Chain A
Amino acid sequence: MVDPAFLLVSGLVVATSILAIESRQLVYGAVNLALMFLAVAGMFILLDAPFIAMFQIFVNVGAVAILVLFTVMLVSTERWARVPRGREFWAALGTSGLTVLALVSIVARTGLADVPPPPAAPTVGPEIGVVMLGNYGVALVLLGILLAASVIGAVALAKVEKG
């Protein structure tokens, strides 16, 4: 018996991600991307990781989706807003179908379907902080450098240089 909450959330994840790729207007695609992020946060809650879920909502829905939507509106011209369904459709479907087949065959062989979830308390922050700063402190600082570089790079890329 599958948990109905899981069914609902996973259905939402899959449906919104398909819509994000397939919706005619790019703005609707961006909205569906935001909903997909939200549904993935629900997935994290089901996986007893509420802190990650909040992080996901805060960062991906609150920041990334807004940036994406802003860019979509910024560069939006009617000329390419509608995606034509060409010959690549079957190629793309075939590629992704093959990916799924390969992965399903791997997972089916490992017998992971029978693994029962071990009992666990939800992780709400302090434990994550301990692991993050205790074991991965250097990675955290490197991540800071990466983020800093990405801001400088993005600003330097997006600005206009007039002669």
Chain B
Amino acid sequence: MTTLADFLTVSMVLLAIGVYGLVRSRNAIRMLFAVEIIISAANINLVAFSRFSNPMDLTGQVFALFSIAIGAAEAAVGLAIIILVFRLTGDVDIAALRRLRK
């Protein structure tokens, strides 16, 4: 029998992997991967709580829908920024972004 804690564990591990990726990578695209992983962890949490607390109340699932939609919008804008940076500096390294401050 799968319990709530099992789903929460998976989502926690996903969050940890996402945080690890965010801290470690200097590549902007890789950081976007990490953000997407964190969003997925949050979605699993939303749906899992919705399923286990009160299955008749679908607020959690609707929030997961909204969250996925916002994740898609975030990816679109994020990738556009990455492309802009690439066109300006010829690189997607985060260190390259620092040069833009001037």
Contact = CB atoms under 8 A, between A and B. Distances in A.
Q: Do A and B bind each other?
A: yes
Interface of A: 1-3, 6, 10, 13-14, 17-18, 20-21, 26, 29-30, 33, 36-37, 40, 43-44, 46-49, 51-52, 55-56, 59-60, 63-64, 67-68, 71-72, 74-75, 77, 79-80, 83, 88-89, 91-93, 95-97, 99-100, 103-104, 107, 112-121, 123, 127-128, 131-132, 135-136, 139, 143, 146-147, 150-151, 153-155, 157-158, 160
Contact of B77 (A83, A115, A136, A150): A150
A123 B27 contact: no
Contacts of B37: 17, 20-21, 33, 36
A99 B66 contact: no
B25 A68 contact: no
Contacts of A117: 1-4, 51-52
A147 B92 contact: no
Contacts of A115: 3-5, 52
Contacts, number: 239
Tell me what chain B mostly uses at the interface: helix, strand, loop, or mixed.
Answer: helix
B8 interface: yes
A155 to B, nearest CB: 7
B54 to A, nearest CB: 8
Interface string B33-54: 1101100100110011011101
Sorted from nearest, which 8 A-B pairs have the closest CB atoms? A120-B55, A92-B24, A96-B20, A154-B80, A150-B73, A113-B5, A21-B21, A92-B23
B29 A75 contact: yes
15 contacts: A2-B2, A14-B14, A17-B18, A21-B37, A26-B27, A75-B92, A99-B19, A112-B3, A115-B3, A115-B4, A118-B54, A127-B58, A128-B65, A131-B58, A143-B70
